[in-house]
Amino acid sequence: MNKADLINAIAKEAEISKKSSEVALNTFMATVTKALKKGDSVVLTGFGTFSTMKRKARIGRNPQTGSEIKIPAKTAPKFKPGKALKDSVK
């Protein structure tokens, strides 16, 4: 399912226009992104938790040449599914 399919599914399920569901989805994604940038986590009970994790700097290898390269430290987004979501997918 891609973004357009998700917008259509939301519009059909909620019985709203596609434009309204697109606005809602874009607002949700922007709000989650903004919270993660601030270092906050977003908890949707039963669905899951969006958070960030810090990755340490490390040494990697270029697969073409085999030479060592430095991979800088960074903060990456993370999603941990909730129990209800895990159980419903089983």
Output the pLDDT for position 90: 83
Output the pLDDT for position 61: 95
Output the pLDDT for position 4: 96
The single-letter code of the amino acid at 62 is N
Place of tokens 């993370």: 78
The dihedral over CA atoms of 12, 18, 24, 30, expressed in degrees to the nearest 10, equals 130
pTM: 0.80
CATH, range 41-90: 4.10.520.10
pLDDT of 18-74, one tens digit each? 999 999 999 999 999 999 999 999 999 999 999 999 999 999 999 999 999 999 999
* Domain ranges, ordered by start, for the chain: 1-39, 41-90
